[in-house]
Copies of this chain bind each other. A is one copy, B any other.
Amino acid sequence: SNVLAGKYQGKVYFVNPKGGEIIGRHVFKSVTEISDPVDLAVVTIPANKVLALIPELKAKKIKNVLLITSGFAEVGAEGKRMEEELVKHAREAGIIILGPNTMGISNPHISLYCTGTHVRPKPGDTMLVTQSGNLGTQLLAFAEKEGIGIRAFAGSGNEAMITIEDAMEGFEVDQLTKTVVLYIESIKNGRRFFEAAKRVGKKKPIIALKGGRTEAGAQAAASHTGAMASNVKVFKAVCRQAGIILVDHPMDLLDLSAAFSSLPLPKGKRVGIVTLGGGWGVVACDLCMENSLEVPQLSETVINRINNLLPGFWNHANPVDLVGEMNTEIHMTILEELIQWEGCDAVIHMGIIGRRIMIQSVMESTVALDKNYDNNFVEGALAYLDNFEKQFVERTVTLMEKYEKPIAGVYLLNDNKTRTITEVEGCKYRGVNFITPERTVKALAQMYQYAQWLKG
């Protein structure tokens, strides 16, 4: 039902030996009854009946099977035997299986959402492959929520035939893929994986989370055992060499894919910070330093330029504290002063976006107390602020194009309108804003490290 409700652009046929009708659609008793050619069979019948399906698929010349069914190698010896036999017969029949035991695939570019969990992220350039279906679909759900576009997703399941190593070669040639995101528990052919990674990584960043880093974690992942799981230090070292960006938490995968896909790479590690609050600036500054970035002193030229914009008691330092200045045009101008400054490789802005939410509550208090104002006043002001945020993001994206330096933000507060990614029509970059300073700093720090690795 996810495929149909997702408005897939191709044709979909139902097959069930019982035939009949489901939601007003004809149900074929066998794939061979379908007259049109079929590109992909999505199989969900019980494990012990899958083998018998192979001759039918072969007769219908179906080459590709998405085998969602579980109950194979992951449940023990008997399942493993069944899986091996299935692979043998599929190979003989010229059939390729993705799975078994997968949560499915999706390709938002053709509106194909074929996953158990009904999530429909928008089309984009982040490729997501996960060796855990539930983790994958959860990430897709967050991607949908945060406006992060997805090139395609696959839960690789038991990897009976198609492995994550195969996928690596796909990423290399796929023009639509700009960023690769992986959740890995084990790799069957480590050498092949890392050689592919080294090639792909030079063209597009590979961001990975390793499940089973600890002994207990590896035991928990035991149903997918592989050689790599046993030595995490080796895995980490090889990843570093291959330029793979390793993260510690699932959500980091999305944060980094958002940043890498949407921002130019920083050429150095010097960060300019502009903040609507002093304490928030101190925190960001500490985080930059702790993540191997630098927060350089402002040059005299920059100080003089900002002197013309802020009251005399401004802090004359980086982070630039906007001292509660309300004039939004000044925020933008100071941001531009920082990004164009040659002493600065990236800019973080804090609290400029999301102020809308705070101002709304001030205005609601005013309306509640003062009869001279009404709800139209609040709505008018909110429309103005929404528009300002839109313009501000557009301006940051334009500045990124002009100076080829990344600009990323931190929301003052978040609500249901708040998204990590804001697209700006006709621009190759996008607005990136996170809810906390640590997420913004981490993203820039990882981008800087990747840029360093590229330089070799």
Interface residue? A34 (CB, 8 A) = no
Interface residue? A285 (CB, 8 A) = yes
Q: In the complex, which of the residues B214, B251, B412 contacts A286, with contact meaning CB atoms closer than 8 Å?
A: B214
Within 8 A of B (CB), among A55-75: 71, 75
Per-residue contact bits, chain A 297-331, to B (CB 8 Å; 1 contact, 0 not): 00000000000000001010111000000000000
Number of A residues with CB within 8 Å of any CB on chain B: 83
Check A277/B362 contact, CB under 8 A, given A213-B286, A283-B209.
Answer: no
Interface residue? A110 (CB, 8 A) = no
Interface residue? A114 (CB, 8 A) = no
Interface residue? A215 (CB, 8 A) = yes
B369 A1 Cβ-Cβ under 8 A: yes
Instruction: State A223–B282 Cα separation when bound (angstroms).
Output: 11
Instruction: State A371–B21 Cα separation when bound (angstroms).
Output: 13
A6 cross-chain contacts in B, Cβ below 8 A: 365
Per-residue contact bits, chain A 246-281, to B (CB 8 Å; 1 contact, 0 not): 001111000000000000000000000000111111
B216 A279 Cβ-Cβ under 8 A: no
B5 A364 Cβ-Cβ under 8 A: yes
Q: In the complex, which of the residues B76, B211, B277 contacts A279, with contact meaning CB atoms closer than 8 Å?
A: B211
Q: In the complex, which of the residues B117, B282, B319 contacts A132, with contact meaning CB atoms closer than 8 Å?
A: B282
A313 B217 Cβ-Cβ under 8 A: no
Closest to A101 in B: B278
A217 B4 Cβ-Cβ under 8 A: no
Instruction: State A79–B315 Cα separation when bound (angstroms).
Output: 14
A290 cross-chain contacts in B, Cβ below 8 A: 213-214, 248
Check A358/B118 contact, CB under 8 A, given A133-B279, A134-B276, A211-B279.
Answer: yes
Within 8 A of B (CB), among A359-418: 361-362, 364-366, 368-372, 412-413, 416
B436 A249 Cβ-Cβ under 8 A: yes
A413 cross-chain contacts in B, Cβ below 8 A: 138, 141-142
Interface residue? A159 (CB, 8 A) = no
A118 B216 Cβ-Cβ under 8 A: no
Cβ distance A168 to chain B, nearest Cβ, rounded Å: 20
A4 cross-chain contacts in B, Cβ below 8 A: 365, 369
Interface residue? A45 (CB, 8 A) = no
Within 8 A of B (CB), among A221-249: 221-223, 248-249
Interface residue? A2 (CB, 8 A) = yes
Instruction: State A162–B212 Cα separation when bound (angstroms).
Output: 50
Interface residue? A295 (CB, 8 A) = yes
Interface residue? A130 (CB, 8 A) = yes
Instruction: State A214–B6 Cα separation when bound (angstroms).
Output: 50
- What are the 7 A-B residue pairs with the smallest beta carbon separation, nearest first? A132-B279, A134-B277, A5-B365, A214-B289, A135-B279, A217-B286, A118-B361
